């Protein structure tokens, strides 16, 4: 009897204790297991689609959704609404009009020069129906850069939005010389060499296009070209092939987005986040897209309320702008349940949750051309992802030691890279395999080769170099630390520019700060410099900034020079432009903006004169 009682109590105790033990020592076990199931589901769907004959592409998924959802709204933009069926019909009209156009041959590469508007998506679908690859031009670029981007992908046709007529006219002589067909989305156009296209679309048939037009396409065929705005030089066109586009279908569905969701897309469609995640992701889930021409912090929540938005997309700056709008009574009054994006900082993340309510933030990591992606499916604040054994098995990646001084990976006596121990920052590399290919950039083998790294863990192996420094903590969460190049060394210490800029922007008088290192003759490494803007209605206060900087930053990390600007230059996704600033350095004869130098005797940032500059350059002032 006693024995039985003993056995029963042991069993009972185990039943009670085991979950407790698991929760304490493996707090994420259950979530990891669920995510494992999700990965397997994604993989199974992908493999079964890849096996279908005739071949199955993203367009085919759109056609499936159209058949299933017919009159459900697909794209809503301002007062324009397109159901799945009307999206399909309108894109047929565009495709038929283009096919009838003498300047176009089926399969030709077409460049799309257009801001966020339904026509962007409709034209892309039309071109997919015609079997044409599409170059997604950034609608903010002009002249030389526009021509460069156009030429990168060997397009023969340019389709532009009517409001970009002048930008097109700027480069028209070069385009016409190359025999490019230039179409403007307008009903009437007087400029010789530019043809109006909307009138032709209106008159065209909305009959479906025969599948034979796309019969030449394989999974390796380019589907879209997306331009990545590096910190140096002209943009590069990353080739997104049909296989890659097919994998993009999984992104929204993998974080639980369904057809009953309404997605707020306020990021540019010419970039990966807007196009691949927002637009292509919604094709998979069959959701409704609320398309915003441009991000607006003041309209954001009103839009969410008006359209019953349940999922929003973000980049770090979006979250920061939202948190810096004035507080309102109805901040928590909305139906948003999920936010997906990347680049949110931990402090903003906390503030966002406390202010706007219990929204699941799904921070992810991915790049346009890269072959590695992570998603923080746990919601751990600050992390971009989590090490998962299944992912690591299928898509091997490694964090290696990186020498930020020499700007290259650390190599051992055998010439191989060295894996970073847990908790230490290193460079993220991802093995290039059939399952995780790296396609590279169009017409740019040189830049493509630069992203490849050989002899990493074994002689002859091949990895994709993400260019991102990351850290994996003891609980297996992955943290983004810096872009290679966003760290510089001074007095033998690494300075992380984003950290310094965070500190500067919490000072009383600075609004924005872009931090970088500049070279000084006779000194190793780079010394800190910050391009800043001042808060509205506030004066630049050198001694206040000095006290702030001295209080929060070690001496090697304090920006020695400050350049006061009216606005911090940013790219289309608000990434700060550094290369130009670094190049212009701190020469008061070359720079119009006010320059300041940190002066420890005066305990202030004081104006940097040409004389002081000369003394630094000649070595009479040591820094
Ligand atoms: C939003 O939801 C409310 C209540 O669920 C409904 O009355 C309203 O019509 C919806 N608005 C839109 C634009 O769907």
**Ramachandran assignment for 84, one of left (phi > 0), alpha (psi -120 to 50 degrees), beta (any other):** alpha
pLDDT digits (tens, 9 = 90+) for 58-104: 999 999 999 999 999 999 999 999 999 999 999 999 999 999 999 99
pLDDT band at 511; cut points 50, 70, 90: confident
CA nearest 497: which of 437, 610, 579?
Answer: 579
User: What whole-number distance in Å separates Cα of residue 587 and Cα of residue 565?
Assistant: 15
pLDDT digits (tens, 9 = 90+) for 96-112: 999 999 999 989 999 99
pLDDT digits (tens, 9 = 90+) for 255-303: 999 999 999 999 999 999 999 999 999 999 999 999 999 999 999 999 9
Nearest CA to ligand 1 atom 4: 308
523 burial via Cβ count (<10 Å: 0-12, 13-18, 19+):
middle
| 307 CA: nearest ligand 1 atom | 13
pLDDT band at 4; cut points 50, 70, 90: confident
In CATH terms, is domain 58-70+80-248 a member of 1.20.1250.20? Answer: no
Q: What is the DSSP string of 448-490?
A: HHHTEEESSSSTT-EEEEEEEEEEE-TT-EEEEEEETTSEEEE
487, 452 Cβ separation under 8 angstroms: no
Which DSSP category does 315 fall into?
E
Proportion of the chain above pLDDT 70, given as a percent: 97
Q: What is the 3-state secondary structure (H, E, C) of 504-563?
A: HHCCCCEEEEEEEEECCCCCCCCEEEEEEEECCCCCCCHHHHHHHHHHHCCHHHCCCEEE
Radius of gyration of the chain (CA): 27
Class of domain 377-480: mainly beta
How far, in Å, is the centroid of ligand 1 from the Cα of 257?
19
pLDDT digits (tens, 9 = 90+) for 325-371: 999 999 999 999 999 998 888 889 999 999 999 999 999 998 888 89
pLDDT digits (tens, 9 = 90+) for 213-263: 999 999 999 999 999 865 445 788 999 999 999 999 999 999 999 999 999
Q: What is the pTM of this model?
A: 0.82
Number of other CB atoms surrounding residue 90 within 10 Å = 21
Per domain, the residue ranges of the chain are 2-48, 58-70+80-248, 258-368, 377-480, 487-618
| Mean pLDDT taken over the chain | 91
Backbone angles phi, psi at 59, to 5 degrees: -55, -40
Query: Which pLDDT score is estimated for 232?
Result: 46
pLDDT: which is higher, 185 or 16: 185
Nearest CA to ligand 1 atom 6: 308
Domain topology for 487-618: GMP Synthetase; Chain A, domain 3 (3.30.300)
- 258-368 has the same fold as 58-70+80-248: yes
Query: Which pLDDT score is estimated for 230?
Result: 52
How far, in Å, is the centroid of ligand 1 from the Cα of 343?
31
- The sign of the CA dihedral 208, 214, 219, 220 is negative
pLDDT band at 117; cut points 50, 70, 90: very high
Strands 338-342 and 311-315, sheet pairing: parallel
Proportion of the chain above pLDDT 90, given as a percent: 72
- What lies within 8 Å, CB to CB, of 346 at 6+ separation is 381, 382
| 306 CA: nearest ligand 1 atom | 13
Q: For a pocket test of ligand 1, which of 308, 309, 337 has the largest count of ligand atoms closer than 8 A to its C-beta?
A: 308
pLDDT digits (tens, 9 = 90+) for 137-195: 999 888 888 999 999 999 999 999 999 999 999 999 999 999 999 999 999 999 999 99
Which CATH architecture describes the domain 258-368?
3-Layer(aba) Sandwich (3.40)
pLDDT: which is higher, 13 or 597: 597
> Does ligand 1 come within 6 angstroms of the Cβ of 307?
yes
| 262 CA: nearest ligand 1 atom | 14
543, 604 Cβ separation under 8 angstroms: yes
How far, in Å, is the centroid of ligand 1 from the Cα of 305?
9
């Amino acid at each position: 009897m006693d024995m039985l009682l003993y056995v029963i109590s042991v069993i009972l105790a185990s039943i009670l204790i085991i979950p407790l033990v698991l929760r304490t020592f493996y707090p994420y076990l259950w979530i990891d297991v669920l995510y494992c199931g999700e990965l397997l589901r994604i993989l199974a769907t992908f493999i079964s689609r890849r096996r279908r004959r005739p071949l199955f592409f993203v367009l085919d998924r759109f056609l499936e959704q159209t058949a299933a959802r017919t009159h459900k709204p697909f794209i809503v933009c301002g007062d324009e609404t397109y159901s799945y069926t009307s999206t399909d019909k309108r894109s047929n009209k565009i495709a038929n009009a283009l096919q009838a156009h003498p300047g176009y041959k089926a399969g030709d590469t077409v460049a799309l020069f257009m801001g966020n508007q339904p026509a962007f998506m409709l034209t892309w679908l039309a071109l997919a129906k015609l079997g044409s690859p599409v170059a997604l031009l950034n609608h903010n670029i002009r002249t030389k850069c526009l021509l460069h981007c156009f030429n990168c992908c060997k397009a023969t046709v340019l389709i532009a939005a009517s409001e970009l007529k002048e930008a097109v006219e700027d480069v028209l002589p070069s385009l016409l010389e190359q025999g490019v067909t230039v179409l403007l989305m307008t009903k009437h156009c007087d400029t010789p060499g530019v043809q109006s296209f909307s009138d032709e679309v209106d008159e065209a048939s909305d009959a479906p296009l025969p599948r034979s037009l796309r019969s030449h396409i394989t999974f390796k065929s380019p589907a879209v070209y997306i331009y990545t705005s590096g910190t140096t030089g002209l943009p590069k066109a990353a080739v997104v092939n049909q296989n890659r586009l097919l994998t993009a279908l999984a992104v929204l569905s993998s974080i639980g987005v369904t057809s009953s969701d309404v997605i707020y897309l306020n990021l540019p469609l010419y970039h990966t986040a807007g196009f691949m995640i927002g637009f292509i992701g919604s094709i998979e889930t069959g959701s409704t897209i609320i398309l915003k021409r441009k991000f607006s912090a003041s309209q954001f929540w009103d839009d969410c309320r008006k359209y019953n938005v349940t999922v929003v997309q973000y980049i770090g700056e979006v979250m920061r702008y939202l948190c810096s709008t004035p507080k309102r009574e109805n901040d928590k009054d909305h139906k948003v349940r999920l936010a997906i994006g990347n680049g949110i900082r931990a402090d903003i993340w906390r503030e966002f949750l406390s202010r706007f309510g219990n929204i699941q933030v799904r921070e992810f990591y991915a790049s346009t051309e890269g072959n590695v992606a992570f998603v923080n499916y746990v919601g751990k604040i600050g992390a971009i992802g989590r090490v998962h054994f299944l992912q690591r098995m299928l898509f091997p990646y490694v964090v290696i030691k990186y020498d930020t001084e020499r700007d290259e990976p650390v190599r051992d006596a055998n010439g191989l890279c060295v894996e970073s121990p847990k908790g230490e920052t290193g460079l993220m590399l991802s093995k290039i395999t059939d399952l995780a290919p790296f396609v590279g950039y169009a017409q740019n083998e040189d830049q493509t080769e630069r992203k490849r790294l050989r002899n990493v863990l074994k002689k002859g192996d091949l990895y994709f170099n993400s260019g991102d420094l990351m850290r994996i903590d003891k609980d297996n969460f992955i943290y983004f630390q810096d872009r290679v190049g966003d760290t510089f060394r001074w007095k033998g210490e690494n300075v992380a520019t984003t950290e310094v800029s965070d500190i500067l922007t919490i000072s009383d008088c600075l609004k924005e700060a872009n931090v970088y290192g500049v070279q000084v003759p006779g000194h190793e490494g780079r010394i800190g410099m910050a391009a800043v803007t001042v808060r509205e209605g506030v004066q630049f206060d050198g001694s206040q900034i000095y006290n702030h900087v001295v209080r929060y930053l070690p001496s090697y990390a304090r920006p020695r020079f400050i350049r006061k600007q009216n606005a911090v230059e940013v790219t289309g996704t608000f990434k700060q432009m550094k290369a130009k600033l670094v190049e212009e350095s701190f020469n008061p004869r070359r720079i119009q903006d006010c320059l300041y130098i940190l002066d420890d005797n005066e305990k202030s940032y004081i104006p940097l004169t040409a004389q002081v500059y000369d003394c630094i350059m000649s070595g009479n002032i040591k820094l």
